[in-house]
Amino acid sequence: MQDKKQKIITILGARPQFIKAAAVSAVFKNSVNEILVHTGQHYDSNMSEVFFEELDIPKPKYHLNVGSGSHGAMTGAMLTAIEAILVEEKPDFVLVYGDTNSTLAGALAASKLLIPVIHVEAGLRSFNKVMPEEQNRILTDHVSELLFVPTQTAVDNLKNEGITKGVHLVGDVMYDGILHFAKIAQEKSTILRDLNLEEKQFMLCTIHRAENTNDIQRLKAIFAGLNDSGQKIVLPLHPRTLKYVKEYGIEVSENISIIEPIGYLDMVRLEASAKKILTDSGGVQKEAFFLGIPCITLRDETEWVETIENGWNRLVGADSAKIQEAVLNFNPTENRIDYFGNGTSVEQMVQVIKSFQKKTIEIIRVTS
């Protein structure tokens, strides 16, 4: 008689989580009963639905349609909706990725119902608690029972906070994914032809974090650096960021080509073909490193300190002069070090989940 498959509720809500889910869900389908919940945190179809289609991610059983809003309103709405789903489904685990409001809402809902939380990409720290993402990842780690960690630095971060139980260094699931999808992107994506681009003749930029988009001075300084570089820069822009650019009256010079958000395969194709990448995204920093593309990070700190130490990533913040200088002169000289595992992190996760022993607890609906 076959063992009954464990039931896992996976919470998704933002682009990086869809990408990780593509790698994880592909392995899970043969091992566990996975049910996807899409919070709707990224509600634009180009930022959400297209990822499910092109990456062959199973369609979510639940779509919460939360959309945008203040951090409190968004997290609260998700928490309420997710709790109801968990009471109905009674899963063995709840799995969350990364550091978004969706991550925290899923972790809190599960923890309060005494359902074990699995945190994929645990242990990352920017050591800047002004960032909502930093608050989310710290709180999530402290309520998780299984913490799948991408690097030794992340293990050390958790140990420094007194978290050692349930910590597993498995490598980075995004590395698993990029090994697979870079080849598919090269075969299927037509983005270079569509945009009339040539290999290594342009730079790719992404800007989306609130610390940059919500601060008019930072956003102006970033665009000043990009403008003054004079280099051809392709900039897929999130609708929210484009809204701020227009509201702030920020100058965008002719060397910058703003395009609409694109699907993951097109994004990977652009990343792999770019001369350099400028970004404030943690995921894009890693993808640049995996693909061997120099990365210029538009933040004052990064969770991916290994890429800085290895000399393939440079922090420039929102300093226009530093941005311009890095665009023109930054060229890594060191060989890349294999910090992020060997591409088998998901298989390792499955084995840990299968062997996990939890207390039998009846999930009840809270009526008080």
125, pLDDT greater than 50: yes
Find, among 11, 212, 170, 176, the residue nearest to 98 by Cα: 11
Three-state DSSP at 276 gives coil
Can you tell me the mean pLDDT for 133-155? Answer: 97
* Average pLDDT of the residues in 149-171: 97
pLDDT at site 1: 40
Query: For residue 44, is pLDDT > 80?
Result: no
pLDDT at 16: 77
Segment 274-304, tens digit of pLDDT: 999 999 998 899 999 999 999 999 999 998 9
**pLDDT-derived band of residue 48, with 50, 70 and 90 as boundaries?**
low
Rounded average pLDDT over 342-356 = 94
Contact call for residues 316 and 298 (beta carbons, < 8 A): yes
User: In this prediction, what percent of the chain has a pLDDT beyond 70?
Assistant: 93
Per-residue pLDDT at 13 exceeds 50: yes
The pLDDT, as a whole number, for residue 363 is: 45
Report, as an integer, the average pLDDT of 241-257. 93
Quickly tell me which residue has 């050692």 as its tokens: 164
pLDDT of residue 61: 96
Write the DSSP string, 103-118.
Answer: HHHHHHHHHHTTPPEE
Paired sense of beta strands 7-12 and 93-97, if any = parallel
Mean pLDDT of 348-354: 95
- 85 pLDDT higher than 80: yes
Predicted pLDDT at 25: 92
Residues 6+ apart with CB under 8 A from 229: 255, 323, 324, 327, 328
- Alpha-carbon distance of 155 to 153, in angstroms, equals 5
* Burial of 138: CB neighbours in 10 Å, binned 0-12, 13-18, 19+: middle
Which is more confident, 17 or 41? Answer: 17
Contact 264, 19 (CB under 8 A): yes
Q: Which tokens in the block code for residue 146?
A: 């299984």
Q: Between residues 175 and 42, which one has the greater pLDDT?
A: 175
Q: Is 208 a catalytic residue?
A: yes
* Cα–Cα distance list, 142 to 123, 145, 147 (Å): 10, 8, 10
Checking if the pLDDT of 54 tops 70, the result is yes
pLDDT digit string, tens, across residues 300-348: 999 899 999 999 999 999 999 999 999 999 999 999 999 999 999 999 9
Nearest Cα residue to 64 out of 45, 84, 52, 81: 81
Token pair for 195: 């945009």
Tell me what the pLDDT averaged over the chain comes to: 91
* Largest interatomic CA distance in the chain: 68
Task: State how far the alpha carbon of 83 is from the alpha carbons of 37, 71, 171, 364, in Å.
Answer: 12, 18, 30, 11
* pLDDT score at 308: 96
According to CATH, the topology of domain 7-172+342-355 is Rossmann fold (3.40.50)
Give the mean model confidence (pLDDT) for residues 201-225.
Answer: 95
Question: Can you list the alpha helix ranges (DSSP code H) found in 172-295?
Answer: 173-188, 191-194, 210-213, 216-229, 239-248, 264-273, 282-291
Q: Rounded to whole angstroms, how far apart are CA atoms 12 and 57?
A: 11
Q: Does domain 177-329 have CATH number 3.40.50.2000?
A: yes
- Work out the number of other CB atoms within 10 angstroms of the CB of residue 144: 25
CA gap 312, 154 in Å, rounded: 19
Say if residue 359's pLDDT is above 60: no
Residue % of the chain over a pLDDT of 90? 76
Would you say 349 and 148 are in contact if contact means Cβ atoms under 8 Å apart?
Answer: yes
What are the extents of the domains in the chain? 7-172+342-355, 177-329
Instruction: Choose the catalytic residue: 38, 119, 208, 238.
Output: 208
Q: How far is CA 16 from the centre of its chain?
A: 3
